[in-house]
Amino acid sequence: MEFSAEQIAEFLQGTTEGDKKVKVNKVCRIEEGVNGGLSFMANPKYEPYIYSTQASVVVVNENFTAQKPVQATLVRVKDAYSAFASLLELYNQYRFNRTGISDKASVHENATLGQNVYIGDFTVAEKDSVIGDNSKIYPQVYIGENVKIGSNVTVYAGVKIYHDVTIGDNCIIHSGAVIGADGFGFAPLEDGSFKKIPQTGNVIIKDNVEIGANTCIDRSTMGSTVIEEGTKIDNLCQIAHNVTIGRSTVISAQTGAAGSTAIGSNCFIGGQVGFAGHITIGDNVQIGAQSGVMSNTPDASRLFGSPAINPKEWMRAYALFKKLPEMEKRLRELENHSKQNG
């Protein structure tokens, strides 16, 4: 799989500078460039590497002015960073372009498969499941009864999707994710034991959502756990029953949202954030890593700490907290002085 600098420039609607016929067959970082490699430079601090890189083609901003000779062929575009992201997407499309149904897969006779679907070895698709056009289901995936998977979806190896889950178009679900397991619902009894509450709902994942590796999204007790369009959830996250997450929200690794939490749209949530159950987080909220969110949060809030408060207030409180040992020492000295002179 090779592309010439000329083909890359045409795809990106850019221009070439240097040998437009040179070909690349791999991608690489500019500081680790190799012959036949394609790289990019968007940040000026990486400029020194462009004069020494062995990469064959480098994508740069159209206003870049070289201060020394450049060995690589340059492809000039308006925005090198977003252009290279488009190239990586194209690269992946070619690299992972698989089709066909493995004879080692188990697809129920009542399952419905779209056109150009790939299903890998030892994948199971149960009764009344639906897999849309151009979707790719890698080996050892389990797809339960009445699961609906849209078009252009990628489900990587080892994902488990329980019954009645709905997944929209253009979604990506990474290995080890579990979608639709029972929510954590138990009723305490008088004898101290717990009775399991049946989880009769489902999970609905809208279009263009990405779910990280080993993330769990639980089905609702009743109704639906819902992830709205465009949201991105990192690895090792826990989304509990009846949680709703709005559009285009980004959630970093090891975050946990307890049952019936409602998280708004366009939120940025750092790693290891914890949400108490039955609270509402507004739109455009930013939450720092390791924060503990205990109560409702209005739109456009910024939070940090546990319990989470305004970051400036938290930093002021932390400045005092660091001084507590010294303050305690001084207080004891004052107490001793008072006793000795009492």
Residue positions annotated with a catalytic role:
241
Contact 23, 2 (CB under 8 A): yes
Show the tokens assigned to 312: 């400036």
Side-chain-facing half-sphere of 227: CA atoms under 13 Å: 34
3-state helix, strand, coil in the chain (%, to 5): 20, 30, 50
* DSSP notation for 321-337: HHHHHHHHHHHHHHHHH
For the sheet with 238-239, list strands across it.
Answer: 106-107, 124-125, 142-143, 160-161, 178-181, 216-218, 238-239, 256-257, 274-275, 292-293
Question: What does the alpha-carbon distance between residue 279 and residue 309 come to, in Å, rounded to a whole number?
Answer: 15
